[in-house]
Amino acid sequence: MTKVNGRLYSAQPGMVIVAPDFDGDSLEAAGWIKVATGGAGTSAQRPRNPPAGAMFHDQTLARNIVHDGKHWRDPATGALV
């Protein structure tokens, strides 16, 4: 369990949690792994005009996706998502 800015964070290995950016930096410094620097949310909440390379954790799909400058893609397969 890690306490950051008065909030407690706990997760099992491989589990994804959503934390505000200002907590994410502190969690990363404490040894947690940041997996989506472009935020997290449902498919409907994806950023509209992100830069190429932006990564987003799509909670509807339960996976990270990456923006190629025009479309959101699965980084493992390159498929549109």
pLDDT computed for residue 60 by the predictor = 94
Confidence of residue 4 (pLDDT cuts 50, 70, 90): very high
Q: Tell me the per-residue pLDDT of 18-69, one tens digit each, with 9 for 90 and over.
A: 888 889 889 999 999 887 778 889 999 999 999 999 999 999 998 999 999 9
pTM: 0.74
Whether 78 contacts 69, CB under 8 Å:
no
Residue 23 carries which side chain, given as an amino acid letter?
A: D
Cα-based torsion angle of the residue sequence 43, 69, 47, 5 in order, rounded to the nearest 10 degrees: 110
Q: What is the secondary structure of the chain as a DSSP string?
A: -EEETTEEE---TT------HHHHHHHHHTT-----TT-EE-GGGS-SSPPTT-EEEETTTTEEEEE-SSSEE-TTT--B-
Confidence of residue 6 (pLDDT cuts 50, 70, 90): very high
Domain ranges of the chain: 1-34, 36-81
